[in-house]
Amino acid sequence: MNYDWDWNAVRDSLPLLWEGFRTTLLATVLGTLVAAVLGLVVAIAGRAPSRLVSVPVRAVMEFVRSTPLLVQLVGAYAVFPSVGALTIGVVVLGVHYAAYLAEVYRAGIDAVPKGQWEACRALSLSPRRTWQSVILPQAVRNVLPALGNYAISMFKETPFLAVITVTELVAEAREYGAYHFAYVETFTLAGLIFLLASYPTSLLMRKLEKRLGH
């Protein structure tokens, strides 16, 4: 069976897919910022000397890691119906990936030589100064490549946002394809857009890994 590729469908759908891509990119950027900041907070809170802090934090993160992103999106959308779908999507993506980034940060913190901690105590640096000026700069440097890789993974999982009515790239492709019977063209184009956006970033992450000696 021969399929006649419809270039008109490609031309007509491209503006709509571009709008969807902008939503996808916005959700990825904001979600990554939420995940990066929250993951760091969780990693530090997990090391708190008080079990009243560390145990609940770890329990919540284990729950997030052990449940599918799709379930979390639908659940949050059902619980907070008055909140915008895109806002819910960004927050859920951020929290979901923060659970993983917290482990990445933890590994980066553990990789800081013990001598650095001992030197801080010897210099009588406050805990805040120790973390801010000595530990975190080294830990974040160690985990930058992993942070970038998780950002790419989040970018590729944004199509899940369609289940809570966010019209991102794949949702636009599906809607146009359904209306004009041009699924092959629109989904192929959407896949190419994902590839063109993520592959250069992957190459950049590899160069960063080499530069940092990973």
What does the H/E/C string look like for 147-179?
HHHHHHHHHHHHHHHHHHCCCCHHHHHHHHHHH
Residue 204 lies in a domain: no
The model's pTM: 0.87
71 domain-assigned: yes
pLDDT for 92 equals: 96
Q: Is residue 191 part of a domain?
A: no
Q: Cβ distance 154 to 28 under 8 Å? A: yes
Residue 10 lies in a domain: no
| The pLDDT value given to residue 121 | 83
Angle among Cα 129, 131, 134 to the nearest 5 degrees reads 85
Tell me which DSSP letter residue 3 carries: -
**pLDDT for the residue numbered 32:** 94
Q: What is the pLDDT of residue 212?
A: 62
CA atoms within 13 A on the CB side of 135: 25
Does residue 62 lie in a domain region?
Answer: yes
DSSP calls for 5-45 = --HHHHHHHHHHHHHHHHHHHHHHHHHHHHHHHHHHHHHHH
pLDDT of residue 1: 57
Burial grade of 150 (CB within 10 A; 0-12, 13-18, 19 or more): buried
Does a structural domain hold residue 180? no
Is 6 inside any structural domain?
no
192 domain residue, yes or no: no
Residue 126 lies in domain: 21-166
- CATH number where 106 lies: 1.10.3720.10
**What is the number of domains present in the chain?**
1
Q: pLDDT per position in the chain (214 positions), as tens? A: 567 788 888 899 999 999 999 999 999 999 999 999 999 999 888 877 777 877 888 888 899 999 999 999 999 999 998 999 999 999 999 999 999 999 989 888 887 888 878 888 888 778 788 877 888 788 777 788 888 889 999 999 999 999 999 999 999 999 998 888 888 999 999 999 999 998 888 888 777 767 765 5
Tokens of 106: 């933890």
